[in-house]
Amino acid sequence: MASEVVEIEGHIIDSLILAKVMDLILAAGADYRVLEVEIGKTNVDMSRARLEVSTPDADALQSLLDELQVHGANRVVTADAELVAADTDGVLPVGFYSTTNLPTSVRIGGRWVEVRQPEMDCGLVYEGLIYDGEGRLTSVPMHRIRIGDLVVVGTEGVKVSPPSRPRGAHPFEFMNSDVSSEKPKALLVRRVAERIRRAKASGAKVLAVCGPAVIHTGAGPSVAALVREGWVDVLFAGNGFATHDLESNVMGTSLGVSVHEGTAAEGGHSNHLRVINEIRRYGSIGAAVDAGYIDGGVMYECVRRGVPFVLGGSVRDDGPLPDVYTDVVEAADAMRYLVPGVGVALMLASTLHAIATGNLLPAGVETFCVDINPAVATKLADRGSHQALGIVTDVGLFTSGLVEQLITPT
Amino acid sequence: MTDPLGWGRRYLMCPPSYFRVAYQINPWMVEEVVADAGRAREQWDNLVATLRAAGATVEVQPPEEDWPDLVFTANAGIVNGNQFVPARFRHPERQGETAHDVAWFADAGFGVSELPIGVCQEGAGDALPVGNALVAAYRFRSDAASHAYLSHLTGAAVRSIELVDERFYHLDLTLCPLDSRRAIIAPLGWDRYGCAVMKALIPEPLVLEPDEAMRFCANSVVVGSTVVMPACPPRVGRQLEAWGFDVAVCDVSEFLKAGGGCRCLTLALDVTLGS
């Protein structure tokens, strides 16, 4: 989709020029949106209109704009965005353009350059020749800025497009409110499964972000099955989720509580510490799997299938597990590296990691936030991940439903 | 109730001392065609005499050797009372005329208001007053973008008409206002939006057939109740006479070789837009 704003001034109503321009746009298979019209009060006064013209592709737009120019409708000249070179590593220039996760284009060298992987709360760095606009434009977080990076400053020449939501193609249409516990869950699960199938069919990746409650609620085997059957391509979690997943595999408990009987195991409060300790002895989760110490569970399936995972640490972590990134900036960078190509994100009973992931995802990624607490989805939306659809339900029920939809032959 | 035109009694003309078909910038011009200088001068003198006989005053602009089309004064610019808006010619072959036109008008006491550079507009050849409006054409020689500027400069209510037939590359080959309600028109030169706009402006049109339009019938000059025409087919003449006009046919065949008729050879100096 390409669009441009044109302006036309004159006696465009009485001369039928505005009508003609609109007719020409539609006849070309393009569309217009009237942004502004000032109609002259008498037949001597001139009128002025601003139209946003959109076409399926940039070539069609150019030829339509050329045609409209004959009738006096000229492209509203947008100045190029200002680019300022960073003068300190890890510091954006003053007045830097702060990004959103929406599709964004920037005018450079007279052309609209699209941001490759939109990410919120970053700067935009342009690599290429500033006079031809043929370079790359990327969202770069503050700490990754290097001296000399050309950073977009100010908002002039920056265009942000709200994501389009075509009818009938998006799960949003079956939810009026984004977060609700009053929806038929089986229907929701079926629709999410459909979205996952569709994403996989189109070559997109499915990301699962898991909180420890996935294991506490007994959803571990379902998530493990989804990983095993190839329905999960990337996993983000913290030390807690991985620890309890490993603990439940080795000891049959999650935080000392039997995942089968739901009763506290004797001395169970230290079970997870013993497991972490052993894995630290092996050096990594992968090594523990290879040695046969771990023979099931979500982390096991990830290692076996080569599904990349990022475990982000926090200040209250026990151990932590040797695979955990203890530097949060490094953790975010590791997650950022795996985000391109993700088409569907499942946030499963996770608050902190869900929000951290939401911050990294372009708005176009379909995000389903499954939690028994509606506050998580709300919080995610409040922090800018407006695409997140909240599904208020028990994650164990939800994931077993997904397994039923995606794996169990029907 | 029809009133005669409020303009058309005073004209600027330029003798064809250096007139020739030196290049091809419209479908009527063919470089191999040679215009007969003697006959051109005779025809021009005859046109001047006819206009004067009809009651018009004719002022003469000195010719310039390098600018053969200076003879077509209609394209010099747009006159609005004491204001002159010089043309911005599309083709380099004519762009040099403007300096001479501006000099003449400045000398004659007109205030000169210029269109911005980069916007083409070929004077009264592409802009004629109809009632209170200024009908302005675009596509071949003038840009639609010039119309808003024209309105800014002159205060006129402009009606933009798109020309669609390259044989009628200027508005004055398709439109000749006769009085407050009537005009000779050749709608085959306009697009359907232009036709609709003109229909609203002209309650009683004399619509030319294609062959009549091709004989430059619309490129006529109206002085009061006299219509000075390059040609007048019987059907057209009968209608004009029925409306009370006298027709004077002036042979301008040498100028037709360059794509210009009676109107192209004249520029009305007594136009005040919006009046």
Strands of A2-10's sheet in order across: A31-38, A47-55, A2-10, A74-75
- The alpha carbon of residue B170 is apart from the nearest alpha carbon of chain A, in Å, by 16
Does residue A70 belong to any structural domain of this protein? yes
Chain B residue nearest residue A45, CA to CA: B157
Distance of CA A134 to the CA centre of its chain: 25
Final residue of a structural domain among A75, A110, A128: A75
Task: Return all residues near B92 (Cβ < 8 A) that are at least 6 apart.
Answer: none
Residues A281 and A230 placed together within one structural domain of the fold: yes
Question: Confidence band (pLDDT; 50, 70, 90) for B209?
Answer: very high
- A46 chain-B contacts, CB cut-off 8 A: 148, 151-152
Q: pLDDT at residue A178 above 70?
A: no
What's the pLDDT tens digit per position in B53-100? 999 999 999 999 999 999 999 999 999 999 999 999 999 999 999 999
pLDDT (average), residues A206-211: 97
Whether the bond between A320 and the residue before it is cis, its omega within 30 degrees of 0, is yes
DSSP string, A44-55: SS-EEEEEEEEE
Q: Do B147 and A72 touch (CB under 8 A)?
A: yes
Contact A365, A155 (CB under 8 A): no
Chain B residue nearest residue A18, CA to CA: B193
pLDDT of amino acid A177 = 43
Q: pLDDT at residue A168 above 50?
A: no
Task: Please give the ipTM for the structure prediction.
Answer: 0.86
Catalytic residue check, B147? no
Final residue of a structural domain among A131, A160, A189: A160
pLDDT (average), residues A345-365: 92
Cα angle value A205/A207/A209 (rounded, 5°)? 175
Q: Do B139 and A70 touch (CB under 8 A)?
A: yes
pLDDT (average), residues B42-52: 97
pLDDT of amino acid B104 = 97
pLDDT of amino acid B1 = 67
Does residue A165 belong to any structural domain of this protein? no
Contact A115, A138 (CB under 8 A): yes
Question: Confidence band (pLDDT; 50, 70, 90) for A120?
Answer: very high
- A43 chain-B contacts, CB cut-off 8 A: 132-133, 157
- B274 chain-A contacts, CB cut-off 8 A: 44
Residues A66 and A176 placed together within one structural domain of the fold: no
pLDDT (average), residues B165-189: 96
Q: pLDDT at residue A170 above 60?
A: no
What is the spatial distance between Cα A235 and Cα A304, in angstroms, rounded to a whole number?
13
pLDDT (average), residues A256-285: 87
When scoring B80, B149, B161, B162 by the number of chain A Cβ atoms within 10 A, the one with the most, hence best to mutate, is B162
- B132 chain-A contacts, CB cut-off 8 A: 43-44
- B133 chain-A contacts, CB cut-off 8 A: 14, 43
In this complex, which of B145, B151, B274 lies closest to A46 when CB atoms are compared? B151
Q: pLDDT at residue B201 above 80?
A: yes
List B147, B170, B176, B217, catalytic entry: B170
What's the pLDDT tens digit per position in A219-267? 999 999 999 999 999 999 999 999 999 999 998 888 778 877 778 877 7
How many structural domains comprise chain A? 3
Average pLDDT, chain B: 95
Strands of A82-85's sheet in order across: A82-85, A150-153, A123-127, A136-140
Residues of B with CB under 8 A from a CB of A: 132-133, 138-139, 143-145, 147-148, 151-152, 155-162, 191, 193-194, 196-197, 274
What is the spatial distance between Cα A10 and Cα A286, in angstroms, rounded to a whole number?
72
In this complex, which of A10, A44, A69 lies closest to B147 when CB atoms are compared? A10
Q: Write out the residue range of the structural domain in which residue A9 sits.
A: 2-75
Does residue A166 belong to any structural domain of this protein? no
Q: pLDDT at residue A167 above 50?
A: no
| CATH number, domain containing residue A25 | 3.30.70.2690
pLDDT of amino acid A176 = 40
Cα angle value A380/A384/A386 (rounded, 5°)? 75
If you average pLDDT over each of A36-50, A71-85, B224-238, which comes out highest? Answer: B224-238
Residues A87 and A66 placed together within one structural domain of the fold: no
Domain range annotation of chain B = 10-268
Question: Residue A332's closest CA among A361, A300, A368, A364?
Answer: A361
- A70 chain-B contacts, CB cut-off 8 A: 138-139, 144
pLDDT (average), residues A11-25: 94
Residue A366, both tokens:
């379909």
Question: Confidence band (pLDDT; 50, 70, 90) for A47?
Answer: very high
In this complex, which of A10, A43, A44 lies closest to B160 when CB atoms are compared? A10
When scoring A13, A71, A76 by the number of chain B Cβ atoms within 10 A, the one with the most, hence best to mutate, is A71
What is the spatial distance between Cα A258 and Cα A252, in angstroms, rounded to a whole number?
6
- B191 chain-A contacts, CB cut-off 8 A: 20
pLDDT of amino acid A111 = 84
- The alpha carbon of residue B92 is apart from the nearest alpha carbon of chain A, in Å, by 20
pLDDT of amino acid B191 = 95
What are the Cα distances from residue A136, in Å, to A105, A124, A150, A365? 11, 10, 11, 21
Among A175-184, A383-392, B183-192, where is mean pLDDT lowest?
A175-184
Q: Do A11 and B157 touch (CB under 8 A)?
A: yes
What is the spatial distance between Cα B258 and Cα B18, in angstroms, rounded to a whole number?
13
Beta bridge partner(s), residue B4: B179
- The alpha carbon of residue B165 is apart from the nearest alpha carbon of chain A, in Å, by 15
Residues A184 and A315 placed together within one structural domain of the fold: yes
Task: Return all residues near B177 (Cβ < 8 A) that are at least 6 apart.
Answer: B5, B128, B129, B130, B183, B222
- The alpha carbon of residue B201 is apart from the nearest alpha carbon of chain A, in Å, by 10
Q: pLDDT at residue A187 above 60?
A: yes
Residues A183 and A318 placed together within one structural domain of the fold: yes
- The alpha carbon of residue A56 is apart from the nearest alpha carbon of chain B, in Å, by 27
Average pLDDT, chain A: 89
Final residue of a structural domain among A119, A139, A160: A160
Residues A333 and A263 placed together within one structural domain of the fold: yes
Catalytic residue check, B170? yes
What is the spatial distance between Cα B265 and Cα A162, in angstroms, rounded to a whole number?
58
Residues A371 and A299 placed together within one structural domain of the fold: yes
pLDDT (average), residues A304-309: 97
pLDDT of amino acid A409 = 62
User: Helix (H, G, I), strand (E, B), or coil: what is residue A346?
Assistant: strand
User: Which residue's structure tokens are 């007109």?
Assistant: B110
What's the pLDDT tens digit per position in B103-136? 999 999 999 999 998 899 999 999 999 999 999 9
| CATH number, domain containing residue A114 | 2.40.420.10
pLDDT (average), residues A128-143: 88
Which is more confident, A267 or A333? A333
Q: Do A11 and B193 touch (CB under 8 A)?
A: no
Residues A96 and A67 placed together within one structural domain of the fold: no
Q: What's the CATH code, domain B10-268?
A: 3.75.10.10
Contact B87, B76 (CB under 8 A): yes
pLDDT of amino acid A260 = 77
Q: pLDDT at residue B274 above 90?
A: no
